[in-house]
Structure 1
Amino acid sequence: MTVTADQAIANAARLLDRAEIELTNLPLMERLDELAASWLQLAAMLLERERV
């Protein structure tokens, strides 16, 4: 399965939405934020690859 930049951004947005719900569970909130950041890094790499 190939992931597009748009899908990676959508995954990050979904994780960040979920993180906002986890206000009482800081470790989970931080982990969701880290996962979202990873998706955004992947999206950036995919967009950069498209430009080349």
Structure 2
Amino acid sequence: MRRSKELIEKRKEFVTNYVTHNQSKQMKVIVNELTEMLFLSERTIYNILTDDENDY
């Protein structure tokens, strides 16, 4: 199934904002919360975060 580019960008934005607002927590805890909220794998979340870092 193809995902729209808009949906992918919104998801990336949500993940990065969530990580930014919860920096006081350990990354593992943040990733677990995101997997439960967004039904994404840990690998997908880490890929979003590393891909976002490479964009800058």
Larger relative contact order (CA 8 Å, sep ≥ 6): 1
Identify the structure with the greater helix proportion. Answer: 1
Provide TM-score, normalisation by structure 2.
0.45
Provide TM-score, normalisation by structure 1.
0.48
Greater radius of gyration (CA): 1
